[in-house]
A and B are shown apart, each in its own frame.
Chain A
Amino acid sequence: METGKNRHIDPSVFSKANFDNLTTDEKIETFVQSYRVPQKKSKAEALELLRSKLDQQSIEKPTRSLRIYWSAAASVALIALLTTVYFYTASSSQIIASKGQHLEYSLPDGSEVTVNADSKLSFSKSGFSEKRSLKLEGEAYFSVMKGNSFVVETKLGTVEVLGTTLNVYARDNELSVSCLTGKVKITANGQTVIIEPGEKAELVDGTLKKITNISTDQMAGWRSGEFHFDNIPLISIFEEIERQFDVKITTKGLENRFYTGGFTNKNLTEALEMVCLPMQLDYEIKNGNKIRIEPKTK
């Protein structure tokens, strides 16, 4: 991109007769659009500098060991994947996604569900079409067929679907439900909230709160492997990485630190770097699945 792209300000606006007739907004626009960002080095000089740094680096340290560990971990994950626990009896069904795994499943009524890593969904298969009721521990995304009531029970509250697609997060002491289309009713702690598309309900310290203006892309980004966080404790981010990659993470000195950003679940090293680099953290992978993270020492 050129530094000065699209900026063709007619110099005659700076004649006295013209300038005095402009509104404040027009003056602001004219000025702002004709501003340039000063640069000490040109782009070409910056590229030269970067190249010289890269040349130095390649002499200093070849760092490949981490990737080898990871490929070992990947084959372990693959074996674990083939031995997925999947109970399916005549009356009651359980869908268990282990760590590092996402499962997609069609319910007897035709509704679709995607179960996130380290999550359990159970329901009674017989008579499901008459009484659509499921229990969830963890996180799942539902695309619900039209019909009678569809109820997801969690440890902290009950979610009743009045419409079509939603994301339910129920782990530890957290319950969070977001609505992508249709309407959803959430009941917890004797409180009830109805949410619509772009809204989210969260149980915070026993109070059920409604949050509006949420981007629906980010609500269930995990289904496409993308995790977004907005000012979330760093420790929770690493818990999510543990679930997505089936690894064990120990951290030190990360209390009271928050992160805004994201990671993708395609590759462990990439995910760790996406969080650790910007936050100035060091990580160390041992035996492919044990990770230690602490602030960089300087």
Chain B
Amino acid sequence: MKVLSDKNQTETGLNKAGFEQLFDAYYDELQHFIYFKSGDTQVAEDIVQDAFLKVWEMRSTVRVETARALLYTISANLFANRYKRMKLNLKLQQTIIEDRTFETPEFEMEIKEFDRKLQRVLSELNENNRTVFLMNRMDQMTYNEIAANLNISVKAVEKRMKKALEHVRKEIEQKF
């Protein structure tokens, strides 16, 4: 018989440099993650600040391998606890349009109208579906990465992606 319990291992702990590396690596994607849920930059930035503060407070027990998923868990739960189902309005930046001059004013209107509608449809999506969809499409995360970060199965990621796409496609086609 072998005793497997190894609760007393001590390969845990973060120093300041390690902590700032985590910040550098994951700040943007976490800010995006909460923005996808909230549509509010201020909320997203506040939550991510607090999530990093909490991780710093518990630094002696944080393991680097699980830190990313831990940051996601803390951010998601902070958001869920503070902001209950708010109606949101995404205002994603479409830099290509902003900098461009269009052939005709009609075409410029058409493009801007499409942008407005797409952002509205995305805003109306179910929070979980929208978040997974935008993590994949905007932040280029693989399904495996998303599953690991959110502590859900790859199947669940696939399902959310499918639902998001179907909904967006249907709504956009109806609105045009």
- Which residue numbers of A lie inside 8 Å of B, CB to CB? 1-3, 5-6, 9, 11, 14-16, 19, 24-25, 27-29, 31-41, 43, 46-47, 49-50, 53-54, 57, 63, 67, 74, 77-78, 81, 84, 86, 95, 100-105, 114, 117, 213-215, 218, 223, 225, 228, 244-245, 260-262, 264-270, 273-274, 277-280
When distances are taken between beta carbons in the complex, the residues of chain A under 8 Å from B44 are 37
CB of A46 to closest CB in B, whole Å: 6
Q: How far is the CA of A38 from the CA of B32 in the complex (A)?
A: 9
Q: Contact partner of A53 among B53, B114, B122, B137, CB < 8 A?
A: B53
Q: Please, what's the 1-or-0 string for B40-84, where 1 marks a CB less than 8 Å from any CB in chain A?
A: 011011001100111011101111001000100110111001000
Q: How far is the CA of A77 from the CA of B5 in the complex (A)?
A: 10
A74 lies within 8 A of B151 (CB): no
Among A25, A29, A278, find the residue whose CB has the most chain B CB atoms closer than 10 A. Answer: A278
Q: How far is the CA of A180 from the CA of B163 in the complex (A)?
A: 28
Q: How far is the CA of A11 from the CA of B99 in the complex (A)?
A: 10
From known contacts A11-B96, A102-B3, infer whether A16 and B103 are also in contact, taking CB-CB under 8 Å: yes
B49 lies within 8 A of A102 (CB): no
Among B24, B42, B70, B76, find the residue whose CB has the most chain A CB atoms closer than 10 A. Answer: B70
Q: Please, what's the 1-or-0 string for B14-57, where 1 marks a CB less than 8 Å from any CB in chain A?
A: 00000010011111110110011000011011001100111011
Q: Which residue of A lies closest to B121 (CB)?
A: A28
18 A-B residue pairs with CB within 8 Å: A1-B139, A14-B102, A16-B103, A25-B169, A38-B91, A38-B92, A46-B48, A86-B1, A100-B5, A103-B2, A104-B4, A105-B2, A215-B154, A267-B61, A269-B61, A277-B77, A278-B74, A278-B78
When distances are taken between beta carbons in the complex, the residues of chain A under 8 Å from B95 are 34, 36
B1 lies within 8 A of A105 (CB): yes
From known contacts A245-B7, A270-B12, infer whether A35 and B94 are also in contact, taking CB-CB under 8 Å: yes
Q: How far is the CA of A278 from the CA of B23 in the complex (A)?
A: 19
When distances are taken between beta carbons in the complex, the residues of chain B under 8 Å from A36 are 92-95
Q: Contact partner of B41 among A38, A57, A245, A266, CB < 8 A?
A: A38
When distances are taken between beta carbons in the complex, the residues of chain A under 8 Å from B155 are 213, 215
Q: Label chain B's interface by main secondary structure.
A: helix
Q: How far is the CA of A34 from the CA of B111 in the complex (A)?
A: 13
A40 lies within 8 A of B41 (CB): yes
Q: Contact partner of B23 among A28, A50, A215, CB < 8 A?
A: A50
When distances are taken between beta carbons in the complex, the residues of chain A under 8 Å from B31 are 37, 39, 46
A28 lies within 8 A of B169 (CB): yes
Q: How far is the CA of A52 from the CA of B120 in the complex (A)?
A: 37
When distances are taken between beta carbons in the complex, the residues of chain A under 8 Å from B57 are 57, 63
Q: Contact partner of A215 among B52, B122, B153, B165, CB < 8 A?
A: B153
When distances are taken between beta carbons in the complex, the residues of chain B under 8 Å from A43 are 24, 27-28
A29 lies within 8 A of B7 (CB): no
When distances are taken between beta carbons in the complex, the residues of chain A under 8 Å from B86 are none
Q: How far is the CA of A84 from the CA of B3 in the complex (A)?
A: 10
B5 lies within 8 A of A37 (CB): no
From known contacts A16-B104, A35-B94, A38-B41, infer whether A47 and B7 are also in contact, taking CB-CB under 8 Å: no
A37 lies within 8 A of B4 (CB): no
Shortest beta-carbon contacts, A-B, top 6: A278-B77, A270-B61, A215-B153, A35-B92, A102-B4, A36-B93
Q: How far is the CA of A50 from the CA of B168 in the complex (A)?
A: 37
CB of A260 to closest CB in B, whole Å: 8
When distances are taken between beta carbons in the complex, the residues of chain A under 8 Å from B118 are 28, 31-32
When distances are taken between beta carbons in the complex, the residues of chain A under 8 Å from B76 are 278
A3 lies within 8 A of B28 (CB): yes
A104 lies within 8 A of B2 (CB): yes
Q: How far is the CA of A279 from the CA of B111 in the complex (A)?
A: 43
Q: Contact partner of B7 among A15, A49, A74, A213, CB < 8 A?
A: A74
Q: How far is the CA of A15 from the CA of B27 in the complex (A)?
A: 35
Q: Contact partner of B45 among A32, A41, A103, A279, CB < 8 A?
A: A41
Among A50, A81, A214, A268, find the residue whose CB has the most chain B CB atoms closer than 10 A. Answer: A50
Q: Which residue of A lies closest to B153 (CB)?
A: A215
When distances are taken between beta carbons in the complex, the residues of chain A under 8 Å from B124 are none
Q: How far is the CA of A228 from the CA of B172 in the complex (A)?
A: 37
B3 lies within 8 A of A266 (CB): no
B134 lies within 8 A of A261 (CB): no
B81 lies within 8 A of A270 (CB): no
CB of A110 to closest CB in B, whole Å: 15
